[in-house]
A and B are shown apart, each in its own frame.
Chain A
Amino acid sequence: MSTRDLRPTRLGWGWLAGSLAVLGVAILAGALIGPVGMDVGSVLRSALDHLPFVSVDSGLSDRQEVILWDLRMPRVILGVLVGGMLAIAGGAYQGTFRNPLADPYLLGVAAGAGLGATLAITAGATGEGWPIDPLPLAAFLGALIGVALTYAMGYSLRSGRTAVTLILAGVAVAAFLTAVQTYVQQRESESLRQVYGWILGRLSTVGWKEVLLVIPYVAACSIVILLGRRLLDVMSVGDHEAGALGLNPNWVRLAIVIAATLGTAAAVAVSGLIAFVGIIVPHTVRLLAGTSYRIVLPLSLILGGAFLVVADIFARTLMAPAELPIGVVTAFVGAPFFAVVLKTNRSTGP
């Protein structure tokens, strides 16, 4: 083997281009599929028309334009952002905790967000007359409290330096927060339906407002996580050895976990609880493209978006004209997938 072949693993251009192409196809499919038919050419022309300094006649009627740009596209783009965020956050948690099963739903992040949102809904804070919609804000605070509790509990234990302790703490915190959330929800039974709708996840009621709300969080948090991609590879040899290599594993973990949690909370705030994306996408990437976080994180961000857009297409077409909550679709695929990951990873971690 020549010295030229002695290059470490990096994200190949082929994989990057390929996954961007998959995302493009998913977005196009999301734009095309629905009760009102449109053809590919018109949709692409209409997209071109929306670029600055370009004017093309799309051939779509005004009604079709409204359906495409005010109903379908915000939903598709939000799917891209939420799916990408949940997937990259899942990959980041798996790396920091060296646990293949870690995802935004461990660590109490989602449970905290759920409790926060339930409190907001049952308190009747629907956003009317408020400067900012209180629902995402409450979910956001709940998620932070959830992860902070997990952190405090994990580290107050004597052996809390290990990743496993922290995850067990997360499970306990999640169970507690879910119990509180269920209690609040049962007491306020008139808002039960609304809470359930939110808990099961939805991309249905979105407009560009939600997209604009979530974009800065997804961008900032993804950048922080992506900057840590090499460090997560170092973390894979364990805290002890990473420390001997000159890294402070606790600081790396704290930074990555905060980024992943903020991103998740923002995603959960606009779309509800969509489970298993953080497990399915990073593990599929590992299987196909490689296990280095230099590959797993960027590709999860891109393919997580594609995955959720496709899941949403199923959610709104399977029972059309009725809609299935998207969380049901992802859980339907994700739960068996989780079992497979559990089985293949019983003795080893990523």
Chain B
Amino acid sequence: MNAVELRDVTVAYNGTSVVTSVDLDVRSGEWVGLVGPNGAGKSTLLGAIAGTVRSEGSVALFGESHHKRRELAKTVALVPQHPLIPTAMKVIDYVLLGRTPHIAILATESSEDLAAVADVLHRLDLVDLAHRRIDTLSGGEAQRAFLARALAQEAPVLLLDEPSAALDIGHQQDVFDLIDRSRTEQSLAVISAVHDLTIAARFCDRVVLMHGGGIVADGPPLEVITAGNVGRFFNAEVKIIHDDEAGLVVVPVQKTAASNIRPIV
């Protein structure tokens, strides 16, 4: 059974559709990278899966369409691109928020919830930062805390919206390694919007290219991230280098005057 099964998913704001008739299947343990130019509908599609954006069509998680927020939150965890960082909240309290769907509405956390939080803090090497204020963390540390909150949700589907956009290359790698480890250990279905095509090719099993709200290519990184696709859908001129060790590398080259005009697709 597919962890995520989207059929004809459409999202419209004020009559303009932002995501148009998307079909997508993702299995447990699979990492799908959503790539595409700005405004392609990646974040909106993630929101539709997480239930934070109202959509038409069918969104099934493990064969079920969830209508209750709480049940949905037990199945799918979302790390938004710019999480709202509460002032002066400790990292441990922030990670505990991930347990919200598991705690009865008026109850407080159980020892089971605390154990889950402690476990995530250990796994993500956040123990020493547990009592630091989250608004004082560095970019890389904060990204780890965001991920920790999502993992504390213990949802089998993990959605990430550009998890490394603001990070330097070292921290970017750390975050993606962490996501990869969690995915393998817990057999998570991971869908992440990824901005860096080289990173997408390196970590994702499958790359889905979005453009204008629809999916225009879906397959292994080598087949989707081609100079042709990047040129056509990103309006970029790139060279794709294949390296035995690094895999696929996307390098921008100087644009020629002719290619600067956006092609009609």
Contacts and interface: CB of A to CB of B under 8 A. Distances in A.
Contacts of A348: 87, 135
Contact of A241 (B83, B103, B109): B83
A3 B84 contact: no
A234 B100 contact: yes
A245 B86 contact: no
Contacts of B135: 348
A14 interface: no
A6 B92 contact: yes
Interface stretch (B65-73, B219-227, B230-238): B65-73
A246 B100 contact: yes
B51 interface: yes
A246 B69 contact: yes
B52 A240 contact: yes
Interface stretch (A225-233, A314-322, A324-332): A225-233
Contacts of A181: none
B93 A233 contact: yes
B114 A7 contact: yes
Contact of A1 (B71, B130, B153): B130
A240 B130 contact: no
B78 A244 contact: yes
B74 interface: yes
Interface string B76-102: 011010011011111011001110110
B69 A6 contact: no
Contact of A8 (B69, B80, B117): B117
Question: Taking chain A's interface residues, is the majority helix, strand, or loop, or is none over half, making it mixed?
Answer: loop
Contacts, number: 94
A8 B109 contact: yes
Most chain A beta carbons < 10 A, residue from B73, B87, B96, B117:
B87
Nearest to A286: B88
B105 interface: yes
B167 interface: no
Interface in A1-57: 1, 3, 5-9
Interface string A248-279: 10000000000000000000000000000000
Range of interface residues on B (Cβ < 8 Å): 35 or more
A262 B130 CA distance: 38
B121 A6 contact: yes
Interface residues of A, number: 32
B256 interface: no
B180 to A, nearest CB: 23
Interface in B97-154: 97-98, 100-101, 103, 105-106, 108-109, 114, 117-118, 121, 127-128, 130-131, 135, 153
A286 B88 CA distance: 9
A9 B127 contact: no
A229 to B, nearest CB: 9
A245 B80 contact: no
Contacts of B118: 3, 6
Contacts of B80: 240-241, 244
B50 interface: yes
Interface in A311-350: 348-350
A238 interface: yes
Interface string A129-144: 0000000000000000
Interface of B: 50-52, 69-74, 77-78, 80, 83-84, 86-90, 92-93, 96-98, 100-101, 103, 105-106, 108-109, 114, 117-118, 121, 127-128, 130-131, 135, 153
Closest 3 CB pairs of A and B: A246-B73, A246-B101, A236-B86
9 contacts: A7-B92, A9-B92, A230-B109, A240-B84, A241-B83, A245-B97, A245-B100, A246-B70, A246-B71
